[in-house]
């Protein structure tokens, strides 16, 4: 069973997390050996996303096989979101520690900036939201302008809806292409 945890924090973009969550949960319902949950860095009863959605997380981040980091609030430097999490530093530190311990990392949208701040994109191909590509270029990442960039133990995706493509790509890796195609069909989503 692959433990997939999606990290949520105040100001995360709803679709960055909920889209991949639905893809992973749908794959599990079709027989993929995946357990997906929404987690926070610290014990929390509720998290508020960037557009006001309130989420009750399933638990606290521990030691997943795959950690998905959503973005949100980076491009406009919101007081809540990825920009704030990078300023605080706790989230990038946790991401770096988990990666060093063998966790595969995936990011959606400006979640890639959290990975860059953690140092895990140094010297690696990566993408983020189009509005943050210049910020990513100021890091040591090798910037690609692709929908999904797979570099083995680090997988990054561009803007918001690319989280669906990221999750479907990861389903192919974790299960198989047939399940990924069945999930895309169920969601009536045309893969890019």
* pLDDT bucket at 157, cuts 50 / 70 / 90: very high
Rg for the chain (alpha carbons), in Å?
15
Measure the CA–CA gap between 10 and 40, rounded to whole angstroms. 10
Domain membership of residue 192 (yes or no) is: no
Q: Tell me what percent of the residues of the chain surpass a pLDDT of 90.
A: 98
Does position 73 have pLDDT exceeding 90, yes or no?
yes
State the average pLDDT over residues 76-80: 95
Q: CATH code at 119? A: 3.40.50.880
Residue-averaged pLDDT of the chain: 97
* pLDDT bucket at 192, cuts 50 / 70 / 90: confident
Domain membership of residue 142 (yes or no) is: yes
Measure the CA–CA gap between 61 and 174, rounded to whole angstroms. 20
Domain membership of residue 98 (yes or no) is: yes
For residue 91, give the 3-state DSSP assignment.
helix
Domain membership of residue 140 (yes or no) is: yes
Domain range spanning residue 8? Answer: 2-186
Number of domains in the chain: 1
Domain membership of residue 72 (yes or no) is: yes
Domain membership of residue 59 (yes or no) is: yes
Q: Model pTM greater than 0.85?
A: yes
Domain membership of residue 191 (yes or no) is: no
């Amino acid at each position: 069973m692959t433990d997939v945890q999606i990290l949520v924090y105040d100001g995360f973009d709803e679709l960055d997390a909920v889209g991949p969550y639905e893809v992973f949960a749908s794959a599990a319902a079709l027989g993929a050996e995946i357990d997906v949950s929404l987690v926070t860095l610290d014990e929390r009863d509720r998290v508020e996303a960037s557009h006001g959605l309130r989420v009750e997380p399933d638990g606290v981040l521990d030691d997943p096989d795959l950690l998905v980091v959503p973005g949100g609030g980076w491009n406009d430097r919101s007081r809540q979101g990825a920009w704030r999490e990078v300023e605080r530093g706790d989230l990038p530190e946790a991401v770096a520690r988990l990666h060093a311990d063998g966790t595969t990392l995936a990011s959606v949208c400006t979640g890639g900036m959290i990975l860059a701040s953690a140092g895990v994109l140094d010297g690696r191909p990566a993408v983020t939201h189009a509005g943050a590509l210049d910020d990513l270029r100021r890091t040591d990442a090798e910037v690609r302008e692709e929908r999904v960039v797979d570099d083995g133990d680090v997988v990054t995706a561009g803007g918001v809806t690319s989280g669906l493509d990221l999750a479907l790509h990861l389903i192919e890796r974790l299960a198989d292409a047939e399940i990924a195609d069945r999930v895309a069909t169920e969601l009536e989503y045309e893969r890019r």
